[in-house]
Amino acid sequence: MIQHRKYNDVKFFLVAIAFISAFNYYLTWSNIKFNWFLVFTYTIDTIQGWLAWWAVRSIILYLDKKLPYGDRPLKRILIQLSLTTTAGLLVIILLTELVSWIVRGRPAIANFYFFDIFIIAIWFFVINGIYIGMHYYSEWRESERQRQEEKKLRTGGFTVKHGNQNLLFPFADILGFYAEDGYTILLTKENKKYFPDRSLDKIETTLPEELFFRLNRQYILNRKILTGFKRTGNGKIEVLVNAPETLPSSITVSRTKAVSFKNWFEID
């Protein structure tokens, strides 16, 4: 079974369904005898629960793709509750009838429909509540991660030795880095040049990839000065640059890097 990165749910529900099955016995059986028949029926009921849960899970993952929570979470939740509860109950009913015909040769007892099925429906509401909670917890974690990343970008920077000083330039103030006449040059938004004592290869590994892209062997530029690109043939592209005259107005990106640049540039 594949664990979904947002929910991280499989191991949890494999255990939870087994517990729910045992708890249902406590609620519905007045006199529980620990024997082989109890083990047999408990195993069958737990397997049914797992199959019904898997149907519920599949619907939820489908809705995540086709009907995300977005700006109308109530609509999504109501549709999810109705579809998953209906599907889950159908799985339980069909499997219960199948087992009853195989083992007893007759339909399931009436008490199953008058009592058990309502308890099972409540459990499906509980399972939905857990998934909804997992979704919003995942959303919160992602927003916290983005907040930390934004904070890092705002407060982080690049240090350059300048005379007897060590100067820290925030990433937002750096237009880019380029190589010229054997030197590595840092260009600021004030069009000032500084000379890091590192190669572009080493500098590239220290920069946040959300802000900077290595266009070719000569240039690493900040996203904010890249205004677009145009195709030039043979898979190459020309990246358009809006920056001081120090930098060219367009820079060639090779065919091998063109796809990765497009994916980086067009990401939301």
Stretch 72-83: mean pLDDT = 95
96-134: buried (b, 16+ CB within 10 Å) or exposed (e) per residue? beebeeeeeeeebeeebeeebeeebeebbeebbeebbeb
Measure CA of the first residue to CA of the last residue in the chain; give whole Å.
31
Q: 80-120, pLDDT tens digit by residue?
A: 999 999 999 999 999 999 988 988 889 988 888 888 888 88
pLDDT at 109: 85
User: Residue 202: pLDDT above 90?
Assistant: yes
pLDDT at 245: 84
More confident residue, 266 or 123: 123
Paired strand residues for 8? none
Reported confidence tier of residue 20, pLDDT bands at 50, 70, 90: confident
32 neighbors 41 (Cβ within 8 angstroms)? no
* DSSP letter assigned to residue 238: E
Stretch 64-78: mean pLDDT = 92
pLDDT at 31: 67
pLDDT at 15: 94
User: Residue 268: pLDDT above 50?
Assistant: no
User: Residue 48: pLDDT above 70?
Assistant: yes
- Residue % of the chain over a pLDDT of 90: 60
Stretch 31-52: mean pLDDT = 82
Poorest-pLDDT segment among 24-38, 150-164, 242-256: 24-38
25 neighbors 18 (Cβ within 8 angstroms)? no
User: Residue 22: pLDDT above 80?
Assistant: yes
**CA-based torsion, 143, 224, 267, 178: positive or negative:** negative
pLDDT at 60: 96
Stretch 217-221: mean pLDDT = 96
pLDDT at 148: 76
* 157-266 CATH, one of 3.40.50.720, 3.30.1330.120, 2.40.50.40, 3.40.50.300: 2.40.50.40
Stretch 52-77: mean pLDDT = 93
- Domain map (residue ranges) of the chain: 10-153, 157-266
d(CA 23, CA 36): 18
Q: 137-177, pLDDT tens digit by residue?
A: 998 988 888 777 666 655 678 999 988 889 999 998 999 99
